[in-house]
Chains A and B, each alone.
Chain A
Amino acid sequence: QQQVKQSPQSLIVQKGGISIINCAYENTAFDYFPWYQQFPGKGPALLIAIRPDVSEKKEGRFTISFNKSAKQFSLHIMDSQPGDSATYFCAASMSNTGKLIFGQGTTLQVKP
């Protein structure tokens, strides 16, 4: 019940295309859903986050779609660029735990 399942494991997209990464969770007590981006040799960095009272959040080319009833959320990267090539992690947490449960990660490659 503490797991966050992420798919696909890897993704190849052409420059200018849309990258879509999906995550699913079981624990309805989760109330914060961030996405992190990690480049080789670097630590993860927060990309965008959403709370369950919102169905969509957009920041630039990055959009989170959240479906509370299905217990699923996804990251959409519009107009994908080679510089977006990285590993993306979805995560979930519960209030006052200070703990993030991460998905397994998706390695995105954007081909020029």
Chain B
Amino acid sequence: KAGVTQTPRYLIKTRGQQVTLSCSPISGHRSVSWYQQTPGQGLQFLFEYFSETQRNKGNFPGRFSGRQFSNSRSEMNVSTLELGDSALYLCASSFNRGGNTGELFFGEGSRLTVL
């Protein structure tokens, strides 16, 4: 069974640009969550999608958005990039709503560098 796939794995952008990251969950998983990982702030919850609906959102500005498609694949978008957005963005999937009802399976992440 294929794991969580995130694309692209690495990308470099400049301030003010926008970026879209993609996540393909494990087949059959209906919930997708996104986390931002930085050395200073650690792992921080961005948002969770289940059945194409955003169910929960973390404490991030509106520049961070996401969506989930009918096949459970998810994308997140960051507009007007800032230097502080440089981070590893992790996608996680689970069969039900993850975090407390079951295991979260993480992808290897998309490493974003903002110059």
Contact = CB atoms under 8 A, between A and B. Distances in A.
Nearest to B9: A41
A64 to B, nearest CB: 15
Interface of B: 4, 31, 33, 35, 42-45, 48, 50, 55-56, 58, 90, 92, 97-101, 103-109
Contacts of A101: 45
B100 A44 contact: no
Of the candidates B42, B58, B90, B98, the one having the most CB atoms from chain A within 10 angstroms of its own CB is B42
Contacts of B101: 95
B56 A98 contact: yes
A102 B46 CA distance: 12
B43 A89 contact: yes
A45 B33 CA distance: 14
Contacts of B43: 44, 89, 91, 100, 102, 105
Interface string A52-66: 000000000000000
Contact of A43 (B4, B44, B98): B4
18 contacts: A36-B106, A42-B108, A43-B108, A43-B109, A44-B90, A46-B103, A89-B43, A95-B101, A96-B97, A98-B99, A98-B100, A99-B58, A100-B45, A100-B99, A100-B104, A102-B43, A102-B44, A105-B43
A43 B99 contact: no
A89 B37 CA distance: 12
B31 A98 contact: yes
A34 B43 CA distance: 14
A40 to B, nearest CB: 11
A104 B42 contact: yes
Given A32-B99, A96-B100, A99-B33, A44 B106 contact: yes
Contacts of B109: 43
Contacts of A43: 4, 90, 92, 106-109
Nearest to B31: A98
A31 interface: yes
Interface in A49-101: 49, 89, 91, 93-101
